[in-house]
Amino acid sequence: MNPAARVLLLGGTGEARALAAVLTGEQIPVISSLAGRVRNPRLPVGEVRVGGFGGVDGLADWLRDNEIRAVVDATHPFAAQITANAHAACTRTGVPLLRLARPAWQPGPDDRWFSVPDIGAAATAVAERGGRVFLTTGRQDAGAFAGISDAWFLIRVVDPPAGPLPPHRGILSSRGPYDLDGERALLAEHRIDVLVTKNSGGELTRAKLAAAADAGIDVVMVQRPPEPDDLARVDSVAAAADWVRGA
């Protein structure tokens, strides 16, 4: 194995940035790849590339051409397509692959969660409930709620959503982390009845769940998409760094 061969870190998450910092600090050659879907993203330390690879074939070719010795998929838990592509490309090329994904949130005794399998089911649940909805699923999913006219939406996004949107809405552009007091105040100010979110896990946006529980607000929780059964997985930066050292 070429000692200068790099590790490809599929990133865009806080865990990815933390892992890039650890590996770079240990002089392990690493290149972080971002999808480029967020304007002005938080960049990790070290070498960075932005943009897609061109599907499985393009990623497999890129791994070979760039002498990649290992891949860590530290993308968002809902980035199902890149996870599937990475699995297929690494299987094809024989490059070791690790999935780093933060643990999912778990409901507590005061939570009022209604779990749904996907964003379409979330839209159906909201259409049945109506009311005032705090939508925090990201700008790419806002269009799924565009046909709902019997509810008002507060749509919180990092970048402005494009495409069809619900007719009754307000847009809140902001980026976490969020604290409990701020989330409580937001829910009260907008008289929110229902929170819609994805089970992303992590601490960055967890406060909205605690605020909803305190206020007795229903939460429509979109569960994570399935991933390949044979993926090697860890849920901490420390475990991922140990794996890279031994790869």
Residue 178 φ/ψ, nearest 5 degrees? -120, 145
Q: How do the pLDDT tens digits run along the chain, 247 residues long?
A: 455 689 999 998 999 999 999 999 999 999 999 986 666 677 899 999 999 999 999 999 999 999 999 999 999 999 999 999 999 999 999 999 999 999 999 999 999 999 999 999 999 999 999 999 999 999 999 999 999 999 999 999 998 998 999 999 999 999 889 999 999 999 999 999 999 999 999 998 999 999 999 999 999 999 999 999 999 999 999 999 999 999 8
Residues 9/240, Cβ–Cβ less than 8 Å: no
Domains and CATH numbers, the chain: 6-102+226-246 (3.40.50.720), 113-222 (3.40.50)
- Please, what is the Cα angle at 208 between 10 and 238, to 5 degrees? 35
- Predicted confidence at residue 162, as pLDDT, reads 85
For 5-52, give the DSSP string. Answer: PEEEEE--SHHHHHHHHHHHHTT--EEEEE---SSSPPPPSSEEEES-
